[in-house]
């Protein structure tokens, strides 16, 4: 899985490319840890290029959301593909982590 | 490190003068007056370089070289063949019979130094390679031994986990039970059970641990022991699915690695066929009605540990005689074809519907063979489990165990 980090206004975006699964969890955790240590208040995980998320991937997203909340920080998900969205809905993820359709929406929603 | 050189030469004057030259150059020099003694010394002392005269009685230089190359202990030694005349034909023969290089008896001090240095350099490289090779072989052997130990441990753990699963057949009168389970690794994280709660109720569940391997299997076994009927009745007083899920949610938070469970729990009232059930993020169960179309018994909900105060919803449905209820892990239908297309829930459901008339175990068997056919491989990427129960008799069937 390829992960690139970039800064946008008031947030950090992680652009993911590949599957967010058990075998890729170390890469994702490392990337998130870096963002967390930079005292970022808002992490936007761009899911547009993610084809598949397995149960471990879901758990990681929730874990990240829980730890960010403890630091009064937030995570948002950006544009998950329809199958990934379906898996996330089944596990009630949208009730825990906000999902946005555009980067602008994610940034504004947090700023508001 | 000073190199050790073995000089094999029958002619005492030449041997002594060459030995003196080499000693002056700083090497440790061993001497042998013929090939036979030379081989003995070489085996005992393992010199870095052998300098051998061509012309010797009994065993000449090339024959000595051949003997060295045949000897397992000596075969990688560096051999310098000493000769008075360096004819191309002679050189070719010497090389062909095992020598590495030549040294003329009339060679200058500089040439001797250069050839000896080159021989020793090669010798060091060969020795280093041999040592590395031997270390690799012994590391490999150690690794294989460790791996065999781990495999045996895993096999024994897998047998234990299998022993936790319910016996196939008839858990209570009027209910038939069949299942098939294919862990992706030796040890699986998906577990299920069917058990008599009391004379009128049958409890059943399927759980799926996220992640794979030993850690997932251990966590699953611990949730499974929590879900044992005696334990649940003692703690909670009933096997009510919502109560069970809420308690499990409290007891099994998200692990430090973000691992968790999904769990589907049902309780069947045997006299009426009424099934109450609840799910914590589990993709669920499929009710295959004998009369009508099949339906999924699930709803969107939090897996265990996602939200400490999550509320779970109870749903109810009534099972009729000959109806079948399947509990399954997503590993059975989330299989991909070589081109990446998912088999999916709908295709799974179609198999279940099409197989209504065949036996329960054959229906489950067909699900597995179709999934394997789709992914074009026998081994599943994730744990795959399908457990089915069928109401075989009158819904008033009573518990016998």
Which of B215, B158, B212, B211 is closest to B181 using CA atoms?
Answer: B158
pLDDT of residue B333: 92
**Is the ipTM, as predicted for this complex, more than 0.90?**
no
pLDDT surpasses 90 at B216:
no
Contact B210 A66 (CB under 8 A): no
pLDDT surpasses 70 at B295:
yes
Closest residue, chain A, to B208 (C-alpha): A55
Instruction: Looking at the structure, give the CATH architecture of the domain made up of residues A2-111.
Output: 2-Layer Sandwich (3.30)
pLDDT per residue as tens digits for the range B52-95 = 999 998 899 999 999 999 998 898 899 999 988 778 888 889 99
pLDDT per residue as tens digits for the range B22-52 = 999 899 999 999 999 999 999 999 999 999 9
Q: Which positions ≥6 away from B129 have C-beta within 8 Å?
A: none
pLDDT of residue B400: 42
pLDDT per residue as tens digits for the range B135-151 = 999 999 999 999 999 88
- Higher-confidence residue: B274 or B157? B274
For residue B264, the cross-strand partners are: B206, B279
Helix B61-70 and helix B35-45, axial crossing angle in degrees, nearest 10: 40
Which of B340, B388, B338, B343 is closest to B363 using CA atoms?
Answer: B388
> Pick from A54, A62, A90: which is nearest to B254 by CB?
A62
pLDDT surpasses 50 at B18:
yes
Running DSSP on this structure, what letter comes out for residue B303?
A: P
Separation between Cα atoms, residue B133 and residue B148, nearest integer Å: 22
pLDDT of residue B1: 62
Contacts 24+ apart (CB under 8 A), B146-153: B151/B186
pLDDT surpasses 80 at B187:
no
> Pick from B208, B302, B307: which is nearest to A55 by CB?
B208
> Pick from A64, A92, A96: which is nearest to B300 by CB?
A92
Sort out which chain B residues have CB atoms less than 8 A from A69's CB and list them. Answer: none
The pair of three-digit structure tokens given for residue B357, joined into one six-digit string: 């008339």
pLDDT of residue B397: 42
pLDDT surpasses 60 at A9:
yes
Phi-psi label, residue B340: left if phi above 0, alpha if psi -120 to 50, beta otherwise: left
pLDDT of residue A112: 55
Distances (CA, A) of B287 to A13, B6, B257, B330, B352: 43, 86, 34, 16, 10
Mutate to test the interface with A, among B189, B249, B258 (most CBs of A within 10 A): B258
Cβ count near B34 (within 10 Å): 16
Q: Are B34 and B8 in contact (CB under 8 A)?
A: yes
A30: contact with B, CB 8 A cutoff: no
pLDDT surpasses 90 at B283:
no
> What average pLDDT is seen over chain B?
91
Which of A35, A33, A30 is closest to A11 using CA atoms?
Answer: A35
Running DSSP on this structure, what letter comes out for residue B86?
A: -
pLDDT surpasses 90 at B104:
no
> What average pLDDT is seen over chain A?
90
Which of B394, B397, B386 is closest to B360 using CA atoms?
Answer: B386
Average pLDDT over residues B374-397: 84
B301: contact with A, CB 8 A cutoff: yes
Contact B211 A22 (CB under 8 A): yes
If you search the block for the tokens 């950006």, which residue do you land on? Answer: A78
> Pick from A22, A89, A91: which is nearest to B303 by CB?
A91
Contact B259 A59 (CB under 8 A): yes
Separation between Cα atoms, residue B8 and residue A68, nearest integer Å: 78
Domains observed in chain B: 4-134 (3.40.50.2300), 165-391 (3.60.40.10)
pLDDT of residue B9: 95
pLDDT of residue B161: 81
Closest residue, chain A, to B261 (C-alpha): A55
């Amino acid at each position: 899985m390829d992960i690139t980090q970039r800064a946008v206004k008031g947030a950090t975006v992680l652009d993911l490319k590949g599957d967010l699964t058990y075998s890729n969890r170390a890469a994702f955790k490392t990337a998130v840890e870096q963002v967390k240590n930079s005292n970022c208040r808002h992490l936007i995980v761009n899911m547009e290029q993610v084809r598949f998320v397995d149960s471990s991937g879901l758990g990681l997203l929730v874990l990240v959301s829980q730890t960010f909340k403890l630091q009064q920080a937030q995570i948002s998900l950006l544009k998950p593909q329809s199958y990934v969205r379906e898996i996330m809905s089944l596990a009630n993820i949208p009730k825990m982590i906000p999902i946005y359709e555009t980067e602008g929406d994610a940034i504004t929603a947090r700023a508001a | 490190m000073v190199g050790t050189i073995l000089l094999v030469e029958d002619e005492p004057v030449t041997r002594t003068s060459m030995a003196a030259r080499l000693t002056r150059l700083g090497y440790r020099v061993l001497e042998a007056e013929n090939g036979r003694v030379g081989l003995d010394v070489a085996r005992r002392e393992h010199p870095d370089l052998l300098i051998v005269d061509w012309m010797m009685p009994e065993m000449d230089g090339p024959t000595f070289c051949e003997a060295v190359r045949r000897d397992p202990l000596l075969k990688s030694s560096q051999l310098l063949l000493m000769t008075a005349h360096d004819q191309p034909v002679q050189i070719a023969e010497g090389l062909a019979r095992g020598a590495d290089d030549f040294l003329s008896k009339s060679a200058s001090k500089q040439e001797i130094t250069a050839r000896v240095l080159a021989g020793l350099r090669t010798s060091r490289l060969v020795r280093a390679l041999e040592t590395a090779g031997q270390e690799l072989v012994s590391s490999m052997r150690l690794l294989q031994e460790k791996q065999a130990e781990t495999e045996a441990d895993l096999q024994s753990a897998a047998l234990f986990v299998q022993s936790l699963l319910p016996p196939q057949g008839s858990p209570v009168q009027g209910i038939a039970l069949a299942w098939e389970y294919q862990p992706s690794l030796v040890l699986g994280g998906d577990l299920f059970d069917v058990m008599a709660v009391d004379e009128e109720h049958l409890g059943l569940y399927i759980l799926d641990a996220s992640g794979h391997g030993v850690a997932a299997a251990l966590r699953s076994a611990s949730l499974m022991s929590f879900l044992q009927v005696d334990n649940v009745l003692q703690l909670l007083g009933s096997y009510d699915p919502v109560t069970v899920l809420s308690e499990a949610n409290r007891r099994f938070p998200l692990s430090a690695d973000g691992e968790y469970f999904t769990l589907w729990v049902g309780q069947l009232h045997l006299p009426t066929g009424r099934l109450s059930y609840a799910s914590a993020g589990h993709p669920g169960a499929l009710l295959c009605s004998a009369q009508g179309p099949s339906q999924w018994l699930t709803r969107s909900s939090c897996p265990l540990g996602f939200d400490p105060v999550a509320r779970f919803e109870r749903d109810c449905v009534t099972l009729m005689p000959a109806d079948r209820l399947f509990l399954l892990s997503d590993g059975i239908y989330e299989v991909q074809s070589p081109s990446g297309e998912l088999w999916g829930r709908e295709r799974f459901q179609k198999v279940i519907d099409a197989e209504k008339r065949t036996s329960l175990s054959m229906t489950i068997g067909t699900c597995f063979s179709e999934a394997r056919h789709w992914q074009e491989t026998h081994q599943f990427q994730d744990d795959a489990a399908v457990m089915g129960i069928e109401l075989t008799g009158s819904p008033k069937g009573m518990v016998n165990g």
